Amino acid sequence: MMVRHVISMFILLCSFLVAVSTAHAERRLALLIGINEYEFIPRLEKAVGDVNAMERKLKALDFDVTKVINPDRRSLNIALGRFAARLGPDTLAFLHFSGHGVEIEGDNFLLPRDIPKPESGQRDTVKYEAIGLRRLISQLSSTGARARVFVIDACRDNPFEQSGVRSIGATRGLARVEAPAGNFIMYSAGYRQRALDKLGPDDGAETSVYTRVLLGKLGQPGLPLAKIAREVREEVQSAAQNVGHVQRPAYYDELSSPLVLARGTAVTKPIVVPKQPQIIQSFIPAVPTANEKQIELLYWNEVRDSKDIAALQSYITQYPTGSFAPLARIRIATLRKAKKLKLASLTPPTAKPKDEQRAIVPVAVPTAEPELKPEPVPVREPLDRRSLVIGVQTQLQRLGCNAGRPDGDWGPRSRRALSAYARQRKIRLSSLDPTEDLLNEMNEISRRVCIVRLAPAKPRIERKKRTRKRKVRVPREELRPKRRVRKQRARKRRRKPRGQVRLRVLGDPALSIGVRRPSRRKRICADRERALCEWDN
């Protein structure tokens, strides 16, 4: 018996020494970022307070803390680079960000102090100027640190939505994230939810609701981080429900083993099960517990904004008597009606016979207790690209802007027609692409916009008709005397007086006096002899 006691004590001592050596070998590094003073977007009140309170708590847990307050983009990148350079296989990394964040196309971006205010639709500006959370997680994961903990308290309203910028990011909250192995990521709110800074006007605490609950749980000895995240979720959700707000913090656990920040032994409270009276269950309807109500609320938050009828029908199947079942049925009816209207607008109208054109007026039969049903809210689905192009081309052709046959192909001819439309209306378009607002504006116009001006017709010149003169045929007998006269005159001209000598000096035409031009034979003779020639007629 004594030998067993000694062996057990020896094993306990060895395990204690191993734990102490492991604790001393592990380095704990933390980077805390808090931004209140934004230059071009709405400012915050409690982001810096969150960082100051978190610094005090982590220093008590043996963390080497680096704090960055109101950094611009360059300072923030430098701080992140230095923090990543200090990490190694024997380190535990803890990164806390409190400030503005925005979700764009499924990726989350953390906004520095000097983030510019983009113009309408400039998503790329925000992507290049902000810090991508996915890239940041990948950067710290490549360091090979033993574990990486991310606390992102940035699930607030979209600052660009408040400032009137269109189509940049979701209205509120951050998107889900796929965390690689070795990471533990905590969000202050769930998907597309807004995190509360305070519980009311009388709440003068230094920190936000999520951070103050998290700080109270981090100091509990021996409590794993996953259990801390679950308890923080329950307390924050209960506190938000008391003020009529929905906030359910999300966390993503990809750690291989439980992570304990506060060393020690966890204190567990004994669970006291109250005695239940014996009740016949068949006579009392089942009352959903608080946990089931939370699950139902989470389910409804996931599918309420969906345009998929199957997703809404799945909620009704899961909770046929739930609190939101009537709203789900109304939403399904609205989506089906909008789908029928869209199909009817795309199909050409068919001619109906005269008997079917007569309207059948239903006779209303009064009932004793009329059933009051809420009127469905009309929801108009956005048109797809081809339907939108065909609609704009049809309206341009109707308004006289010559967009060609509506074939759904938005080419140079359609852009020229839209440019002519804007020039005639004296408006300025941001781009020559079709939009729903442009289509709605064209539908309200009842007169022609583009007026085709024809060039004036050229005056017609009356030309005189050309008359072909007929040759007057002269009898052959009348032509003979004339021919005879012409021949006689020609002979006289060719006659030469007898005994006349013609002289010509070669090479000097001035000395050739009183002579006629020699014939070809005489010229050849003169050229060959190169001397005075004399010919006798």
Q: Provide the pairing of β-strand 107-110 with 101-104.
A: antiparallel
Any domain includes 15: no
As a whole number, mean pLDDT of residues 269-287 equals 41
Highest mean pLDDT among 45-59, 431-445, 479-493, 512-526: 45-59
Q: Whose structure tokens read 């109500």?
A: 293
Residue 375 maps to a domain: no
Unique residue bearing structure tokens 């790329």: 124
For residues 340 and 392, membership in a common domain is answered with no
Highest mean pLDDT among 207-216, 360-369, 490-499: 207-216
Which residue in this structure is represented by tokens 């230094």?
Answer: 206
pLDDT of residue 29: 96
Is residue 59 one of the residues assigned to a domain?
Answer: yes
* In the predicted structure, residue 52 carries a pLDDT above the cut 80: yes
| Residue reference for tokens 């939370």 | 294
Q: Is the pLDDT score of 281 beyond 50?
A: no
- Mean pLDDT, to the nearest integer, of 323-329? 84
Same-domain check for residues 299 and 228: no
pLDDT tops 60 at residue 150: yes
Domain extent at residue 336: 290-346
* Residue 313 pLDDT: 84
**Cβ partners under 8 Å of residue 241, min gap 6:** none
Which has the higher per-residue pLDDT, 363 or 55?
Answer: 55
Residue 379 lies in a domain: no
Q: Are residues 74 and 121 in the same domain?
A: yes
Together in a domain, 315 and 424: no
Q: Are residues 39 and 117 in the same domain?
A: yes
Same domain, 194 and 50: yes
In a domain, 453, yes or no: no
User: What is the average per-residue pLDDT within 504-516?
Assistant: 53
- Quick check: 168 and 107 in contact, CB under 8 A? no
Which of 228, 253, 278 terminates a domain? The answer is: 253
Q: Categorize the per-residue pLDDT at 194 as very low, low, confident or very high, splitting at 50, 70 and 90.
A: confident
Clarify whether residues 55 and 176 are in a common domain: yes
CB atoms within 10 A of CB 448: 12
Last residue of a domain, one of 202, 235, 253: 253
Give the CA radius of gyration of the chain: 50
Q: How many domains does the chain have?
A: 4
- Of 420 and 480, the structure prediction assigns the larger pLDDT to 420
**Separation CA 147–CA 141 (nearest Å):** 9
Residues 81 and 167 in one domain: yes
Range 201-224 average pLDDT: 91
Do 193 and 322 fall into the same domain? Answer: no
Question: For the chain, how are helix, strand and coil distributed in percent, rounded to 5?
Answer: 40, 10, 50
372-401: pLDDT as tens digits: 455 555 556 677 888 888 888 898 888 888
Please compute, for residue 65, the number of CA atoms within 13 A of its CA located in the half-sphere on the CB side: 19
49 & 143 share domain: yes
Last residue of a domain, one of 226, 253, 280: 253
Is residue 200 a part of any domain in this protein? yes
Inside any domain, residue 131: yes
In a shared domain, residues 329 and 207: no
In 3D, which of 381, 383, 377, 382 has the Cα closest to residue 331? 377
Q: Are residues 322 and 248 in the same domain?
A: no
Residue 283 domain flag? no
- H helix runs in 304-427, sequence order: 309-318, 325-346, 354-357, 385-398, 412-425
